[in-house]
């Protein structure tokens, strides 16, 4: 027992490492700090010179970090928009897909992946002019090692070219019809269509002029065969739907509009066409609902603006009709959508429906 007591006393005379300044190894540390330093050592270290290069590097790191923080939300927003675009495509909501991809491409204008998806969304949303523009300005000359992207772009480009662009010969013939009457246009186009029955856009142009002179049976004959061969030719389906509406074959009209909506749930023209069909058969509330939906999807589109004005007219919403008619008149292509005819309908001078 005495030996044990003696050893215990000796150990109490030696201070543990935690009770000595880690710098000078002599004085007791100052209490209240994590690092055990005595008062003198702590004061000396706090005044030690920091090299300028260390300060400079620290400043650069701080600036880069702050810059990264300011850019990070933008990058995240673009990534979120891109994912929303892909999800919209999967849901066949191509107007939403276009909107989201346009957000993403603002941040990453040179991304082949985003450009490809936006091009595809334009095509499936029937934005043919925008699809052509992005193809000419951002796709032509671009290289990609992604075979799937290459094949998709080529496939879409070929479909647009086949469905919506004519040969040089046809283009010259069509240009000669500028300002011509529908009758004269029919006379000019018919020989070419008979000679080239496999070309899509010449038949469509001829059918449009035939529609203007109310030769609905021949329009039907031309477009039914065209759509059987090219079910993705939505312009033809809309023209055929209009024919069936004028022939009071309303269910056929609706069926062709639904074909379009099966491929794109957000096709404003299909909703507007159905709205006019419901209005034509005196289903005015249903027609108004469809017209509003079309306008919500494409408030800048002349056809949807005109359709909503018509819907307001038949629902006796005169104030709203006036506001929409004013928008209709401001559209550059209002004449092509028969604004004079609809003005006469609104004025009670012309009857559109029985």
pLDDT the model gives residue 13: 42
Residues 270 and 232 in one domain: no
pLDDT band at 289 (very low <50, low <70, confident <90, very high): very high
How far is Cα 183 from Cα 210, in angstroms, rounded to an integer? Answer: 8
pLDDT the model gives residue 70: 43
pLDDT the model gives residue 38: 77
The number of folded domains in the chain is: 4
pLDDT the model gives residue 143: 85
Contacts with 354 (C-beta within 8 Å, 6 or more apart), sequence order: none
Whether 8 maps to a domain, the answer reads no
Residues 307 and 338 in one domain: yes
pLDDT the model gives residue 319: 98
pLDDT the model gives residue 221: 96
Q: How many CB atoms lie within 10 A of CB 121?
A: 27
Whether 126 maps to a domain, the answer reads yes
pLDDT the model gives residue 54: 47
Residue among 312, 297, 326, 264 nearest 122 (CA):
264
* Coarse DSSP helix, strand, coil percentages of the chain, rounded to the nearest 5 percent: 75, 0, 25
Is the pLDDT at 24 greater than 80? The verdict is no
Is the pLDDT at 337 greater than 50? The verdict is yes
Residues 258 and 185 in one domain: yes
Per the model's pLDDT, the better-predicted residue between 52 and 88 turns out to be 88
Contacts with 239 (C-beta within 8 Å, 6 or more apart), sequence order: 204, 207, 208, 211, 219, 223
- Asked if 257 and 270 touch (Cβ cutoff 8 Å), the reply is yes
- Rounded to the nearest integer, the mean pLDDT of the chain is 87
pTM score, two decimals?
Answer: 0.78
Whether 318 maps to a domain, the answer reads yes
CATH number of the CATH domain containing 322? 1.25.40
* CA Rg value for the chain: 36
Per the model's pLDDT, the better-predicted residue between 244 and 65 turns out to be 244
Buried/exposed 138-177: b ≥16 CB within 10 Å, e otherwise: bbeeeeeeeeebeebbeebbeebeebbebeeebeebbeeb
Of the listed ranges 54-58, 97-101, 133-137, the least confidently predicted one is 54-58
Residues 272 and 286 in one domain: yes
pLDDT band at 213 (very low <50, low <70, confident <90, very high): very high
Tell me: the pLDDT tens digits for 98-127?
A: 999 999 999 999 999 999 999 999 999 999
Whether 54 maps to a domain, the answer reads no
How far is Cα 32 from Cα 169, in angstroms, rounded to an integer? Answer: 92
Residues 104 and 82 in one domain: yes
pLDDT the model gives residue 82: 94
pLDDT the model gives residue 61: 52
Domain boundary residue among 262, 278, 300? 262
Residues 315 and 343 in one domain: yes
Domain boundary residue among 262, 293, 321? 262
Domain boundary residue among 227, 262, 297? 262
CATH number of the CATH domain containing 82? 1.25.40.10
Whether 23 maps to a domain, the answer reads yes
Tell me: the pLDDT tens digits for 141-196?
A: 888 888 999 999 999 999 999 999 999 999 999 999 999 999 999 999 999 999 99
How far is Cα 5 from Cα 142, in angstroms, rounded to an integer? Answer: 89
Whether 5 maps to a domain, the answer reads no
Whether 52 maps to a domain, the answer reads no
Whether 353 maps to a domain, the answer reads yes
Residues 135 and 105 in one domain: yes
Residues 281 and 331 in one domain: yes
pLDDT the model gives residue 42: 65
Residues 276 and 331 in one domain: yes
pLDDT band at 76 (very low <50, low <70, confident <90, very high): confident
Tell me which residue range forms the domain holding 316: 266-354
- Asked if 315 and 284 touch (Cβ cutoff 8 Å), the reply is yes
Mean pLDDT score, 32-56:
60
């Amino acid at each position: 027992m005495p030996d044990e007591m003696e050893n215990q006393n000796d150990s109490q005379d030696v201070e543990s490492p935690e009770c000595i300044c880690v710098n000078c190894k002599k004085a007791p540390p100052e209490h209240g700090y994590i690092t055990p330093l005595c008062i003198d050592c702590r004061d000396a270290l706090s005044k030690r010179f920091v090299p300028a290069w260390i300060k400079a590097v620290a400043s650069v790191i701080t600036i880069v970090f702050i810059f990264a923080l300011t850019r990070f939300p933008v990058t995240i927003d673009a990534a979120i928009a891109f994912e929303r675009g892909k999800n919209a495509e999967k849901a066949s909501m191509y107007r939403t897909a276009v909107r989201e991809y346009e957000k993403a491409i603002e941040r990453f204008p040179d991304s082949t992946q985003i450009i490809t998806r936006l091009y595809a969304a334009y095509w499936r949303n029937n934005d043919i002019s925008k699809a052509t523009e992005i193809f000419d300005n951002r796709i032509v000359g671009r290289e990609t090692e992604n075979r799937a992207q290459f094949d998709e772009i080529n496939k879409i480009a070929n479909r647009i070219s086949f469905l919506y662009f004519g040969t040089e010969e046809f283009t010259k013939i069509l240009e000669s019809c500028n300002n011509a009457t529908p009758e004269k246009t029919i006379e000019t186009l018919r020989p070419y269509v008979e000679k080239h029955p496999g070309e899509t856009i010449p038949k469509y142009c001829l059918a449009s002029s035939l529609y203007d002179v109310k030769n609905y049976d021949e329009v039907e004959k031309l477009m039914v065969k065209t759509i059987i061969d090219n079910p993705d030719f939505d312009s033809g389906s809309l023209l055929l739907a209009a024919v069936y509406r004028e022939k009071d074959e309303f269910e056929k009209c609706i069926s062709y509009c639904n074909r379009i909506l099966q491929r794109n749930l957000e096709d404003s023209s299909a909703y507007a066409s159905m709205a006019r069909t419901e209005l034509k058969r005196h289903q005015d509330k249903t027609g108004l609902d469809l017209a509003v939906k079309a306008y919500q999807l494409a408030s800048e589109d002349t056809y949807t603006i005109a359709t909503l004005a018509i819907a307001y007219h038949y629902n006796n919403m005169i104030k709203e009709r006036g506001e929409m008619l004013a928008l209709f008149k401001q559209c550059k292509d209002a004449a092509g959508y028969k604004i004079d005819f609809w003005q006469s309908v609104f004025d009670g001078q012309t009857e559109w429906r029985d």
